[in-house]
Amino acid sequence: MKIFKVEGTLVSTNRIAMMEHKPLLTVIDKPGGTPQVAVDPVGCKPGDWVICCGSSAARDATGVKGYPSDLTIVGIIDNWEE
Amino acid sequence: MKIFKVEGTLVSTNRIAMMEHKPLLTVIDKPGGTPQVAVDPVGCKPGDWVICCGSSAARDATGVKGYPSDLTIVGIIDNWEE
Amino acid sequence: MKIFKVEGTLVSTNRIAMMEHKPLLTVIDKPGGTPQVAVDPVGCKPGDWVICCGSSAARDATGVKGYPSDLTIVGIIDNWEE
Amino acid sequence: MKIFKVEGTLVSTNRIAMMEHKPLLTVIDKPGGTPQVAVDPVGCKPGDWVICCGSSAARDATGVKGYPSDLTIVGIIDNWEE
Amino acid sequence: MKIFKVEGTLVSTNRIAMMEHKPLLTVIDKPGGTPQVAVDPVGCKPGDWVICCGSSAARDATGVKGYPSDLTIVGIIDNWEE
């Protein structure tokens, strides 16, 4: 798993049906890094440092079997410093 | 998931049979970036900023179970700026 | 999917049994790039520009369910220029 | 598989339920490298050099079928030098 | 698949039970490259140039269904030059 910082919510009104009903957040792995998009089943807020799981495990980690995610937040880190 | 910009349609008349019947688009992750090829089940046009899903989730995200894709567009982003 | 140029055939007489009976080609993603090895179920020749699928989708894309490939050619691109 | 050095334990009190009951360690692939997070089913201590398995194999390697991991420690290396 | 050169055997007496009974080799993709660890079901010796398969296909390629590998040697290349 990799460590990311939550930036904000991503708005995409035009999604495939399988992706509905889960929040998508933009996350970065370092200051100035390229934002990636993660599914958030935990409930994060901007500024949180989180653990994200990729690969096929990202799918079930959403809590919905077979969800089409390749990056899912699986935990919020306590006391991580930049 | 990663964020890409749609460039255009990719023409490949000689494909494996499993890949028929879905449009393939070239997408880039930054200006001047190397184009990649994504399956488009959403209906995008050049210039759109899109979310693409990779890994094994890219397959079902096409809407066809077991489709041979490793990069599939899963949503169009509202109001994304370069 | 990513775009590659076919370089040539790869000869490996000592393979695992599961890999028999499919041609392996060396492909590069840019001039001078590191060659990778792709399974070719399409029938390509050196100089062709091709679309290659990775991840778990590369397996079924060979046309043989469960084939041990992580990079498979799924189409030849019409009119691609270097 | 890739080789990592164990740095320490990662505390994340707020995890998804599927991730409970397994220790998470921070690991680096070289001095000064970006820390990644691995599930530890072996029982490692900081300073150990370990083999980590990624991709879908990381899931079963935890010893719990379908565990949501994309990086799992599968062995401690004897006599590895930095 | 990617091309690697076999360096040597990796000794890790403390492994997960699922990994037993298969040799692990260190391999590099270029002179001075970072060594990775591959499962060897073929029978290679140091100096051999080999094809390695990653992703989920690396698992079955070991010859043991569900083996926890993300990099497996699937063939020895004839007449490859550095």
* Structure confidence by residue, pLDDT tens digits, A10-62: 999 889 999 887 999 999 999 999 999 999 999 999 999 999 999 999 999 99
Contact with chain A for residue D9, Cβ under 8 A: no
pLDDT score at C10: 94
Spatial separation of the C-alpha atoms in residues E40 and D36, rounded to whole Å = 26
- Class of domain C2-12+19-76 as given by CATH: mainly beta
- Gyration radius of chain C over CA positions: 12
pLDDT score at C20: 80
Cβ(C1)–Cβ(B71) under 8 Å? yes
Which secondary-structure segment (H or E) carries B3?
Answer: strand B2-9
Task: Count Cβ atoms within 10 A of the Cβ of residue A22 and give its class: 0-12 exposed, 13-18 middle, 19 or more buried.
Answer: middle
Closest of C13, C37, C15 to residue E42, by C-alpha: C15
Cβ(C10)–Cβ(C69) under 8 Å? no
Question: Which of the four pLDDT bands, split at 50, 70 and 90, describes residue C13?
Answer: confident
Q: Is the ipTM of this complex over 0.85?
A: yes
Superfamily of domain D2-76 in CATH is EutN/Ccml (2.40.50.220)
Residues ≥6 apart with Cβ < 8 Å to B57? A56, A58, A59, A67, A68, A69, A70, B72
Cβ(D42)–Cβ(E16) under 8 Å? yes
Question: Which of the four pLDDT bands, split at 50, 70 and 90, describes residue C81?
Answer: confident
List chain B residues with CB under 8 Å of C61: 16, 18-19, 68
Which stretch of D19-23, E13-17, E44-48 has the lowest confidence by average pLDDT? Answer: D19-23
CA dihedral angle for residue D7, residue D9, residue D13, residue D16, rounded to 10 degrees: 80
Query: What percent of chain C is modeled with pLDDT above 90?
Result: 87
pLDDT score at E71: 98
Cβ(A7)–Cβ(A27) under 8 Å? yes
Query: What percent of chain D is modeled with pLDDT above 90?
Result: 84
Question: CA of E19, closest CA in chain D: separation in Å?
Answer: 8
CA distances from C73 to A39, A55, B72, C49, C51 (A): 30, 22, 17, 10, 6
pLDDT score at D79: 85
What phi and psi, each to the nearest 5 degrees, are found at residue D61? -60, -20
Q: What secondary structure letter does DSSP report for A78? A: T
CB contact under 8 A, C68 and E54: no
Cβ(A24)–Cβ(A39) under 8 Å? yes
Name the pTM for this structure.
0.96
Q: Please, what is the Cα angle at E73 between A57 and C29, to 5 degrees?
A: 75
Spatial separation of the C-alpha atoms in residues B53 and B2, rounded to whole Å = 7
pLDDT score at E81: 77
List chain B residues with CB under 8 Å of C60: 18, 66, 68
Average pLDDT over chain D reads 94
List chain E residues with CB under 8 Å of C35: 3
Q: Which residues of chain B have pLDDT under 50?
A: none
Q: Which chains have 3 or more CB–CB distances shorter than 8 Å to chain B?
A: A, C
CB contact under 8 A, B59 and C57: yes
Please state the domain extents for chain D: 2-76
Site of tokens 């390695």? E52
Q: Which residue of B has its CA nearest to A58?
A: B57
Q: Which residue of C has its CA nearest to B72?
A: C1
Closest of E33, E41, E47, E37 to residue E10, by C-alpha: E37
Q: Does the pLDDT at position D27 exceed 80?
A: yes
Which of E3, E57, E63 comes nearest C70 by C-beta?
E57
The three-class DSSP label of residue D29 is: coil
pLDDT score at C44: 96
List chain C residues with CB under 8 Å of E54: 70
CB contacts < 8 A, D to E, total: 78
Maximum Cα–Cα distance across chain E: 37
Contact with chain A for residue B45, Cβ under 8 A: no
